[in-house]
């Protein structure tokens, strides 16, 4: 069984600390403690992982981000990527060939990931959805400490 973990991007990016940076790979572009914890979960429990960027969509960890941006799914005026484009990415990148997808992050990200994968019929599991941010972080840390993805939630 192959499992893909989808990690939400974050508002805090490498350019916040180092404005002179040019391009940065996705796995290093997002610098919040939440992203780093999600990345650790993804690297531990996934056969592969990707970032869901509001600007670029589903991107692999080595995807080169050319510079800073501020696009969010929560504010449509920032121009977030459309679900139809995510559908196309799933097909073109062949990420619909996994057995299961683990969606990390809150309910908004889970909803986007579920909508994106719906046409493919791929199972999407969101083990920590519905938890407050503090409880979410504790649950992810517990998963890592227990070496258990806690998918039975």
User: Per-residue pLDDT averaged across 39-60, rounded?
Assistant: 97
pLDDT in tens, 61-88: 999 999 999 999 999 999 999 999 999 9
The number of beta carbons lying within 10 Å of the beta carbon of residue 142 is: 12
Domain assignment present for 19 = yes
Supply the range of the domain harboring residue 76. Answer: 3-146
What pLDDT, on a 0 to 100 scale, did the predictor assign at position 153?
A: 55
Calculate the average pLDDT of the chain.
93
Domain assignment present for 152 = no
Q: What is the pTM of this model?
A: 0.94
Domain assignment present for 151 = no
User: Per-residue pLDDT averaged across 118-134, rounded?
Assistant: 91
User: Per-residue pLDDT averaged across 27-50, rounded?
Assistant: 96
User: Looking at the predicted structure, is the pLDDT value of residue 137 above 90?
Assistant: yes
User: Looking at the predicted structure, is the pLDDT value of residue 151 above 90?
Assistant: no
What pLDDT, on a 0 to 100 scale, did the predictor assign at position 85?
A: 96
Percent of the chain clearing pLDDT 70 (strictly above):
98
| Domain count within the chain | 1
What pLDDT, on a 0 to 100 scale, did the predictor assign at position 39?
A: 97
What pLDDT, on a 0 to 100 scale, did the predictor assign at position 150?
A: 86
Task: Give the DSSP per-residue string, 122-153.
Answer: -EEE-TTTT--HHHHHHHHHHHHHHT---TT-
Q: Is 45 helix (H, G, I), strand (E, B) or coil?
A: helix
Domain assignment present for 49 = yes
User: Looking at the predicted structure, is the pLDDT value of residue 33 above 70?
Assistant: yes
How buried is residue 12: exposed, middle or buried, by Cβ count under 10 Å (0-12/13-18/19+)? middle
What pLDDT, on a 0 to 100 scale, did the predictor assign at position 1?
A: 64
């Amino acid at each position: 069984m192959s499992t893909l973990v989808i990690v939400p991007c974050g508002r805090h990016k490498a350019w916040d600390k180092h404005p002179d940076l040019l391009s940065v790979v996705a796995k290093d572009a997002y610098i919040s403690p939440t992203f780093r914890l999600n990345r650790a979960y993804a690297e531990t429990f996934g056969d592969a992982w990707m970032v869901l960027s509001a600007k670029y969509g589903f991107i692999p960890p080595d995807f080169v981000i050319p510079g800073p941006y501020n696009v969010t799914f929560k504010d449509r005026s920032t121009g977030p990527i459309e679900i139809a484009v995510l559908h196309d990415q799933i097909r073109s990148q062949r990420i619909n060939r996994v057995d299961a997808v683990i969606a990390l992050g809150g309910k908004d990200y889970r909803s986007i990931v579920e909508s994106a994968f719906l046409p493919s019929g791929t199972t999407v599991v969101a083990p920590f959805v519905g938890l407050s941010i503090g409880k979410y972080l504790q649950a992810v840390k517990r998963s890592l400490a227990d070496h258990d993805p806690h998918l039975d939630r």
